Amino acid sequence: MYPRRETGIKPAAKSSEATAAPRRDGHLGKPLSRRSVLKSLTARAGLAAMSPAFAGQAPNSAAKPSASTLNHRNPRWYGFNLLEYFSTDPDWMKYFPYKNDGNFVEDDFRWIRDWGFNFVRLPMDYRFWTDPIDPMKIDERKIEPIDRAIRLGEKYGVHVNISLHRAPGFCILDGLDPAVTGIPVTPEKTSFYKDPHTLDAFVHQWTFFAQRYKGTSNDRLSFNLVNEPDLRPTPEEKTQLAERLKKDPAALTEQDINALGEKEYARVARAAIEGIRAIDAQRVIVSDGCAVAKTPVADLFSCGVVQSPHDYIPSDVTFYRAEWARGDVTRTEPPTWPLKDSRGRVTADRKSIEDYFRPWRAMEQLRIPIHFGEMGCYKHTPPQVALAWFEDTLDVIGELSSGWALWNFRGPFGVLDTERAGTKYQDWHGHQLDRPLLDLLRKKMRT
């Protein structure tokens, strides 16, 4: 749920060297202290062995194997994100219908099941249950709403994916500027990329969950490590990089910066994966792609995890007039689909979506399972445009043989109470149901 942003480092004029294939070592030159970090990363020997859950073995002989826990096949999870533990920053409740109490709604699970879906993702803020002074202390009373959500999932046959949308040391929302968006955000004070104690706190979250839910079937539960990992240069690093580019225009590309982010994120993710697997070796683990869930994380290919892209392409359609995207999405006219500019020229269409997710097509051959953990179109996009976009984007995802989850169930990205002007709603037990969108989603599910 975040518009894809670039680093802000503008390359100098192109030279013959600048058009060469991008380097993949992530080296940014002497001015950056992270060089030593990269050396230590590339020197790390070995990765976690491929989990039997994705290597052609059943998780255990007593459990009934399923498509979501066997081989490299993509889990056929179709559903929605539920936001009851989304953020401790209260202003988000102006935009999404939740009460910050973790009280997941039983009717949500019932209707999701009744309409043929089988998956919910719970994007959560660790601060709900973590001591603000000591991040290694977890209040188990505040974990009980998550326990209840898992029980509701079992009751209604809905798989529950628990996700740290805000983790110790990282949240994608911390990149927002409240002066631009009008949404106050309380950022992390330290980074799990840079501070070892913060990384320990991040791993502790997952070892706690691994121990608490050990023995819970993979058919019922999976872990999503952190939402939309990204590593942006600090202001100081941006200045250093800009100076570096002035001296050597071929020294850096956007791919180099993304490669650095991927390697650092893989280091963080491996620490959590190893912590989980030491307690619950067969747990299904999901890693969002790097660069805001854009690209597969090659350094995790041998870790036996599901990799997850998010689909909000193009943001001029999906985030049109979204409050948190102010400054990134500046389009003032209602979008069309295919998207056209002021001169009527097509600037984005189905092929654009196909091209954007082309790196994910290789995952099947590499035997890496994938699942789209987020997708959707905000309420200000006209209904016929939203439906046309969904038609194309769901077909592209279907060609990847992947499941998907809308960002909301109830709310401005969902099928209930979206407040999308021009939609012909159906009354549904006191809620307003977008029946055309629901019918389209049901049609596009693949068994």
**pLDDT tens, 80-89?**
999 999 999 9
For the record, the structure tokens of 302 come out as: 């041998």
Please give the pLDDT value at position 188: 97
Say if CB 309 and CB 357 are below 8 A apart. yes
Q: What mean pLDDT is predicted for residues 95-115?
A: 95
Please give the pLDDT value at position 72: 73
pLDDT band for position 31 (cuts 50, 70, 90): very low
Tell me the C-alpha distance between 119 and 78, whole Å.
Answer: 5
Tell me the C-alpha distance between 270 and 418, whole Å.
Answer: 38
Tell me the C-alpha distance between 370 and 396, whole Å.
Answer: 14
Backbone torsion region of residue 80, taken as left when φ is above 0, otherwise alpha when ψ lies between -120 and 50, otherwise beta: beta
State the helix-helix crossing angle for 196-212 and 254-279, rounded to 10 degrees: 40
Say if CB 55 and CB 304 are below 8 A apart. yes
pLDDT band for position 252 (cuts 50, 70, 90): low
Tell me the C-alpha distance between 421 and 384, whole Å.
Answer: 11
Look-up: residue for tokens 């997708």? 375
Closest by Cα among 385, 404, 410, 407 to 444: 404
Please give the pLDDT value at position 428: 99
pLDDT band for position 4 (cuts 50, 70, 90): low
Tell me the C-alpha distance between 314 and 349, whole Å.
Answer: 9
421-446, pLDDT tens digit by residue? 999 999 999 999 999 999 999 999 98
Residue 92 has pLDDT above 90, yes or no: yes
Tell me the C-alpha distance between 272 and 200, whole Å.
Answer: 9
Please give the pLDDT value at position 253: 66
Tell me the C-alpha distance between 440 and 89, whole Å.
Answer: 34
Question: For strand 285-288 and strand 221-224, is the pairing parallel, antiparallel, or unpaired?
Answer: parallel
Residue 1 has pLDDT above 50, yes or no: yes
Tell me the C-alpha distance between 262 and 268, whole Å.
Answer: 10
Cα→Cα distances 110→24, 78, 258, 409, Å: 47, 14, 41, 12
**Residues counted in the chain:** 447
369-404, pLDDT tens digit by residue? 999 999 999 999 999 999 999 999 999 999 999 999
Look-up: residue for tokens 């041998």? 302
Tell me the C-alpha distance between 250 and 350, whole Å.
Answer: 33
For the record, the structure tokens of 212 come out as: 């608490």
Q: What mean pLDDT is predicted for residues 152-179?
A: 98
3-state DSSP assignment of residue 212: helix
Residue range 72-444, CATH number: 3.20.20.80
Dihedral sign from CA coordinates of 374, 190, 265, 305:
negative
Run of H or E including 356: helix 350-356
For the record, the structure tokens of 185 come out as: 């955000």
Q: Which residues sit opposite 222 in a β-bridge?
A: 161
Instruction: Name the residue ranges covered by the structural domains of the chain.
Output: 72-444
Among 90-99, 240-249, 367-376, name the one with the lowest average pLDDT.
240-249
